[in-house]
Amino acid sequence: MPVCQQFDVNCPSRLLFDQIADKWSMMVLSVLDTGPMRFNGIKRHLEGVTQKALTQCLRRLERNGLITRRVIPVSPIAVEYEMTPLGRTLLPPFKALYAWTMANLSEVDAARRAFDSRS
Amino acid sequence: MPVCQQFDVNCPSRLLFDQIADKWSMMVLSVLDTGPMRFNGIKRHLEGVTQKALTQCLRRLERNGLITRRVIPVSPIAVEYEMTPLGRTLLPPFKALYAWTMANLSEVDAARRAFDSRS
DNA sequence: CCGTATCCGATCCGATACTG
DNA sequence: CAGTATCGGATCGGATACGG
């Protein structure tokens, strides 16, 4: 089975892939895999993320059904994010890809140096 | 094992993930999985790709050691791209992710409609 | 605490033109 | 055939300010 059956930018798989392969989603899901967490808790775990970027990322994950957002009406307001069962099913494939990157980092790096020295 | 050990934008895995999770790489690798192919051959298989985008994508894949580029000095010139052994090892994790997207497309779509109707 | 709104520079991306 | 070069619009992303 090919990775994308239609080799098309509108391949249904690609439209979903784009939503989860972005800059922060993978790390947010990984953080939430350890349990529910509040906004600033997540933010503290992701060094370098801005509030805007994290908000957008969380919204997208929520819209795609991978996490839930629960407002706790205390003062000041608290918002807890939690992985859904669907979100949990995404972690194994992600981890497989993560394992590949870690296993092949050095080989890729060698290829890059070879390429860069050629040009 | 977490998806990203450092939860950091500079996590070495992320820096590599960005290179392969882009708009076209997955499809190019999938096309080349069927055998070596020339530039315009690949282009014909990827509906919607521009020459510029494909060139950039092929360069990046070549630089990362996932494909090779071979110039065949005929007239007019021919250039053949071929998957490397390293590139081949990337396909199983990719296919796992592809399988997940196909398996969960409808559930994600339902979540999106629910979210959109809430707001 | 958890956002939204706005501005602004950097970057991407397609279209087009041109070359060996 | 397989690129490179260039340009302008669109989009992204950070910084900042403000609000419930």
Yes or no, beta carbons of A65 and B31 under 8 Å apart? no
Gap from B76 CA to chain A (nearest CA, Å): 24
Q: Are B65 and A26 in contact (CB under 8 A)?
A: no
Query: How much is the pTM?
Result: 0.90
Q: Are A34 and A27 in contact (CB under 8 A)?
A: no
| Number of cross-chain residue pairs from A and B with Cβ atoms under 8 Å apart | 175
Query: How many helices (H) and strands (E) would you count in chain A?
Result: 5, 3
What number of other Cβ atoms are within 10 A of residue B27's Cβ? Answer: 25
Which runs of E-coded beta strand occur in A26-119? 37-38, 67-72, 78-83
Q: Rounded to 5 degrees, what are φ and ψ at A21?
A: -95, 20
Give the pLDDT of residue A98.
87
Q: Residue A30's Cα: distance from chain center in Å?
A: 8
Measured from the CB, is B52 under 7 Å from any atom of strand C?
A: yes
pLDDT at A36 over 90: yes
Measured from the CB, is A50 under 7 Å from any atom of strand C?
A: no
Report domain extents, chain B: 12-118
Sequence-ordered list of residues with C-beta below 8 angstroms from that of A6, at least 6 positions apart, any chain: B47
Alpha-carbon distance of A41 to A68, in angstroms, equals 15
Nucleotides of D under 7 A from a protein CB: 1-6, 13-17, 20
Measured from the CB, is B50 under 7 Å from any atom of strand D?
A: no
Yes or no, beta carbons of A102 and B12 under 8 Å apart? yes
Q: Are B82 and B68 in contact (CB under 8 A)?
A: yes
Which range has the worst mean pLDDT, A33-42, B29-38, B92-101?
B92-101
Give the pLDDT of residue B5.
54
Does the domain at A12-118 match CATH 3.90.226.10? Answer given as no
Report the distance from CA of residue A75 to the C1' of nucleotide D10 in Å, as an integer.
Answer: 41
pLDDT tens per residue, range B1-55: 455 555 666 677 788 888 888 888 988 999 999 999 999 999 999 888 999 999 9
